[in-house]
Amino acid sequence: MKEIPVLLYHNIGNYPEEMMEDGLLPETFEKQMAFLAENDYRIVPLEQAVAHLNGLAELPPKSIAITIDGGYEDAFTHVLPVLGKYNFPATFFIPPGFIGEERSIKGHPIKCLNWSALEDIAHDGMEVGLLAYDGMGIRHHYDEQVVKDSIANSLNIMRNKIVGEIRYCAFKEGVPGTSLWKFTQSLGFQAVFTQCPTNQPATPSAIGRIQIDDDDHNIFLTKISTTYLFFKDKPSWKYIRRYHMDKMVHRFSETWNRMTRTRN
């Protein structure tokens, strides 16, 4: 299989429950990174993941890439120190229009990175990519020219502020069409990342990432497995969601955790 799991994290912090639909507690993130380190997973930069996908390199089993979306301040306070502790590379996808500002999650404000913190992230050896279209998705109908203009303007801002190449672009969700993909290539992007399921095999124009948003460790183990990687972008995934099979797995895991705690 010419693909490795590319994990997608969003906000990581102690936020109100309604803000945590896509979020993770800091202690959970620490536990997950410790597990990867202690169990000989190889955390690779996106450059190696893309080369592997293109058949230009061969990565060993248990290779994983990590991406952080949103440009939130917690990427600096809660994520960067943990990645540094384990010497893990990662790519931080940033919507530059929100740098130094606030975004909103479920009506609650959340602080974003400032340029100084972003520079520190880059200086620590992390890669910075563009979270395109101001962090909005292109899963449903969208005005392609508006999206192109947004990408071009955002990239100009980042190139004026960030030292080094900006090689990768990401969308919250949705797969770019042929025209949009060619446009991103013309700007120098080598690959586009999105959220699975994409309902198509992974190619540099649309690499589906696995969102990690559950504090349940068993769910994490499932999502980094080769079985999950095999099914994540298959058209059959919509039936898994339609018949709530994913929720059944969550309930089984929660029951198993309760039984284990009781037994101990």
Average pLDDT over residues 47-71: 96
Indicate which CATH number applies to the domain containing 29: 3.20.20.370
| pLDDT at site 148 | 98
- Is the same domain home to 165 and 243? no
- Residue 236 — pLDDT band, cuts 50, 70, 90? low
More confident residue, 164 or 62: 62
- Is the same domain home to 100 and 220? yes
Q: Enter the pTM of the model.
A: 0.90
> Is 243's pLDDT higher than 50?
no
Give domain status of residue 1, yes or no.
Answer: no
Average pLDDT over residues 151-180: 94
- Residue 239 — pLDDT band, cuts 50, 70, 90? low
- Is the same domain home to 255 and 195? no
- Residue 162 — pLDDT band, cuts 50, 70, 90? confident
Give domain status of residue 89, yes or no.
Answer: yes
> Is 262's pLDDT higher than 80?
no
Domains held by the chain: number: 2
- Is the same domain home to 204 and 257? no
- Is the same domain home to 122 and 248? no
Average pLDDT over residues 161-170: 91
- Is the same domain home to 175 and 128? yes
Give domain status of residue 31, yes or no.
Answer: yes
> Is 258's pLDDT higher than 80?
no
- Is the same domain home to 244 and 174? no
| pLDDT at site 54 | 95
Model confidence pLDDT, tens digit, residues 74-91: 999 999 999 999 999 999
The domain containing residue 261 runs over which residues? 236-264
- Residue 194 — pLDDT band, cuts 50, 70, 90? very high
Give domain status of residue 118, yes or no.
Answer: yes
- Is the same domain home to 129 and 204? yes
- Is the same domain home to 180 and 250? no
Residue-wise DSSP of the chain: -----EEEE--BSS--GGG-SS-B-HHHHHHHHHHHHHTT-EE--HHHHHHHHTTS--PPTTEEEEEEES-BTHIIIIIHHHHHHHT---EEEE-GGGTTSEEEETTEEEEB--HHHHHHHHHTT-EEEEE-GGG---SS---HHHHHHHHHHHHHHHHHH--S---EEE-SS----HHHHHHHHHTT--EEEEES--SS--BTTBEEEEE-----HHHHHHHTSHHHHHHTTSTTHHHHHHTTHHHHHHHHHHHHHHHHHHH-
- Residue 237 — pLDDT band, cuts 50, 70, 90? low
